Structure 1
Amino acid sequence: MKINDRLYGEADVEPVLDELIRSGSVQRLKGVHQGGASFLVNPGWNVTRYEHSLGVMLLIRKLGGSLEEQIAGLLHDVSHTAFSHVIDDVFQMVNEDYHEQIFSGWVRHSDIPDILHTYGFSHEKLLYDDSKWTLLEQPAPALCADRIDYTLRDSLAYGFAEKDEIAEFIETGLTVFEGEICCTSISAAEWFTRLYYREVVDFFMHPLNLYGLKLVSKVLKQALEMRLITKDDILKTDDELIAVLNESHGLKGELKKLSTAKQRVKQGGPNDFTFHQTLKTRLIDPQVIQNGRKAPASSLSENVRQMTETAADAMEKGAYVKVSQ
């Protein structure tokens, strides 16, 4: 199977990856948007979990990761619910990890174990302990394939960065040192840090994005209380779940408000807002290779320290959103 990705180009993948990609479990992710409900308020915010999952797999591949780690990368988001992290708001998951908590149970009841077994792999050995996959996942503020791909992918799609500068960063700005993804220079670390905080502050905390999250979360809570949907329904695709929600005239009316959000939603202030929203704090501090050793970018660059301080302050304050009728 040959796949073509907008960030990493063309790649021929092994039969096990081919079959996993074609599986119903991974194909479902084509209908799950990475930005939660954001696509409902801005159709341009339309990156899917499928694109991201293939991207993480390909980045691990590009960095020399094993086939096993590529499999783990491809499948790391397979249990994401409809509307992605909106469900974390519905269930008040402070760490935004609902999909991680249901991951093992979801996989065990999917088509994935049989596919892996066919090719001599064990889902128990590959998928339930990310600590063994140091390229795929690292605790913040370190770099990892997951964090890098969603930042680069969203930034290209939403106009935060150009394709050629992203390609240069992938080709020359990243390396693997002692099993960890690092930046090859201070300038590369500064570039990625700036992009990452633009993603977190300018996209995640955008008033339109937060309004979409808040309204869809409210509708889903009501639908669960009405027993119009169950927890099983949130494992549908976004469009499938919307179709169920639209069966209720009242909920359909609420969802229709999303289509006019651009005209009604704007940045508010501490003394003039409809609601105030904070999100999980997300910081980044890439390791940089200097003279054969790695060091956190914040210890080498005043720019990185200042960007982190500014972003952390913005995240702590949260966003004030003003909504007109």
Structure 2
Amino acid sequence: MSELFTASSYHSILCSDFPPFLHDYLQLPLLTRLKGVGLLCGTDWTELFHNQFFYSRFDHSLGVALIVWNFTHDKKQTLAGLLHDVSTRAFSHVTDFRNGDALTQESSEDINASLIDNDKELSLLLKRDGLTPNDVDDYHRYPVADNPCPGLSADRLEYMYPSGAALCGQWTIDEVRKNYSHVCLLVNEQGQPELGFDDEEAALDYTKRFTNIALLLQHNEDKIAMQLLADVVSRAIKCSFICEDDLFSLTEQELIERFDSFASQKKDIVFTRLHKTFRTMKEVKHTQRALDGHYCVSLAVKKRYVIPLVKQKDGSALRISDCNGEAKKIISDFLSYSDSPYGCVCIAQ
């Protein structure tokens, strides 16, 4: 019987020697708040999706830190990875959809550095470790933690394993263990360190599975779930059911419970219908135009993909698309994919 996919079992694969200095950082309210924020952007709360388990932004942040530590043993880079999502509100990238930023999904990062720079408890821990907030307030500085698409970074590597496992059982713990054992540190075309694979088959396997999950995020089902929840949240704020700060202070479960209560009281019929539609929808119609009596979206969203490096016999590294024809086609097909112009669901009454 396959081992259950849990955050602890997964994290033990990412780094076998857990760095003791992280323990105190993991108690910071700045980070513990993220335990109530899901990685999968609100899809845990609709019947349209059947997520197999809840994986939090806290779990993701720790996972990124463990990968960075595993390959660098550098405190600055590790802590920058740990703190890279502290500005994430409830429902994660739904905030970007509220801000009209479905294409880049970066608008929620705007205050990340400010939160890090102004957290007094964090500053004390950093001082103890001989670091400053400036050392850790931007993980984009550290290419192992983050790098431009389509490079493979700790952030991208980490989130696609549990995303695939939760969304559709794409990865088991045993499969992650086998695949991750082939991850290594290489040098990319710009002379920068970048995560890659020491085995072409492992790189191809990761590319296939990453792309399968990335395709799900291009489907109208994902687009409609995120935009509809964005509209639910915006309407709740407009009706004063919640305020913007509640997206920082309340967990997703607490917010959903409030929304359920407000909807049942029918204090605002627009909110009630939007929220009920989000909670109960089971099927999306793929259409060429918007349908009457339906909630419809027509969106271009961020394409998440990687073209990982593969270590060659001479020690150099090539993108898998440059050394494997199957991978090249998989990536090309993904980049050219588009769902139907509209996704529509019947509005609940």
TM range (shorter): 0.7 to 0.9
1:96 aligned partner: 105
1:156 aligned to 2:170?
A: no
Task: Give distance in 2, aligned partners of 1:182 and 1:79.
Answer: 28
Query: Structure 1 pair 319/283, CA: closer, same or farther in 2 (3 Å)?
Result: farther
User: For residue 184 of structure 1, what is the amino acid of its counterpart?
Assistant: D
1:192 aligned to 2:210?
A: no
User: For residue 279 of structure 2, what is the amino acid of its counterpart?
Assistant: S
1:167 aligned to 2:177?
A: yes
1:107 aligned partner: 116
Query: Structure 1 pair 37/121, CA: closer, same or farther in 2 (3 Å)?
Result: same
Q: Is the Cα–Cα contact under 8 Å of residues 54 and 74 in structure 1 kept in the other structure?
A: yes
Task: Give distance in 1, aligned partners of 2:146 and 2:139.
Answer: 10
Determine helix, strand or coil for the equivalent of 1:114.
helix
Task: Give distance in 1, aligned partners of 2:16 and 2:184.
Answer: 20
Determine helix, strand or coil for the equivalent of 1:180.
strand
Q: Deviations over 1:253-277 (max 9, x none)?
A: 5323333212xx2241336763323
Question: Shift of residue 227 of structure 1?
Answer: 4.9
Aligned mate of 2:286, from 268, 275, 286: 268
User: For residue 39 of structure 2, what is the amino acid of its counterpart?
Assistant: Q
Aligned mate of 1:254, from 256, 274, 278: 274
Task: Give distance in 2, aligned partners of 1:14 and 1:7.
Answer: 12
Q: Deviations over 1:148-203 (max 9, x none)?
A: 010111122230122222111111x211123221111221221111111111112x
Determine helix, strand or coil for the equivalent of 1:321.
strand
Question: Shift of residue 235 of structure 1?
Answer: 1.9
Q: Is the Cα–Cα contact under 8 Å of residues 79 and 107 in structure 1 kept in the other structure?
A: no
CA RMSD of aligned residues (A): 2.5
2:79 aligned partner: 71
Give the TM-score normalised by structure 2.
0.82
Determine helix, strand or coil for the equivalent of 1:35.
coil
User: For residue 4 of structure 1, what is the amino acid of its counterpart?
Assistant: S
Aligned mate of 2:137, from 98, 106, 127: 127
Q: Deviations over 1:42-80 (max 9, x none)?
A: 362632111111111112222234122211111111111
User: For residue 211 of structure 1, what is the amino acid of its counterpart?
Assistant: I
Question: Shift of residue 226 of structure 1?
Answer: 4.0
Count of residue pairs brought into register by the alignment: 317
Task: Give distance in 1, aligned partners of 2:155 and 2:341.
Answer: 25
Question: Shift of residue 104 of structure 1?
Answer: 1.2
Aligned mate of 2:35, from 30, 34, 59: 30
1:40 aligned partner: 45
Question: Shift of residue 98 of structure 1?
Answer: 2.1
Q: Deviations over 1:25-47 (max 9, x none)?
A: 11111100111120111362632
Query: Structure 1 pair 40/183, CA: closer, same or farther in 2 (3 Å)?
Result: same
2:215 aligned partner: 201
1:80 aligned partner: 88
User: For residue 56 of structure 2, what is the amino acid of its counterpart?
Assistant: T
Q: Is the Cα–Cα contact under 8 Å of residues 186 and 196 in structure 2 kept in the other structure?
A: yes
Determine helix, strand or coil for the equivalent of 1:78.
coil
Please identify, of 142-151 and 89-98, the stretch whose mean Cα deviation from structure 2 is larger: 89-98
2:3 aligned partner: none
Query: Structure 1 pair 260/227, CA: closer, same or farther in 2 (3 Å)?
Result: closer
Determine helix, strand or coil for the equivalent of 1:161.
coil
Unaligned runs of 5+ in 2: 1-6, 188-192
Aligned mate of 2:316, from 293, 299, 313: 293
Aligned mate of 2:246, from 233, 237, 241: 233
Query: Structure 1 pair 28/197, CA: closer, same or farther in 2 (3 Å)?
Result: same
Of Structure 1 and Structure 2, which has the larger fraction of its residues in helix?
A: 1
Aligned mate of 1:6, from 4, 10, 17: 10
Task: Give distance in 2, aligned partners of 1:275 and 1:135.
Answer: 36
Identity %: 22
Question: Shift of residue 14 of structure 1?
Answer: 4.1
Q: Is the Cα–Cα contact under 8 Å of residues 145 and 155 in structure 2 kept in the other structure?
A: yes
Q: Is the Cα–Cα contact under 8 Å of residues 183 and 198 in structure 2 kept in the other structure?
A: yes
User: For residue 38 of structure 1, what is the amino acid of its counterpart?
Assistant: T
Query: Structure 1 pair 271/223, CA: closer, same or farther in 2 (3 Å)?
Result: closer
Give the TM-score normalised by structure 1.
0.87
Q: Is the Cα–Cα contact under 8 Å of residues 117 and 137 in structure 2 kept in the other structure?
A: no
User: For residue 202 of structure 2, what is the amino acid of its counterpart?
Assistant: A
Q: Deviations over 1:85-120 (max 9, x none)?
A: 000010112421123211112223434223322333
Task: Give distance in 2, aligned partners of 1:112 and 1:100.
Answer: 19
Question: Shift of residue 7 of structure 1?
Answer: 4.6
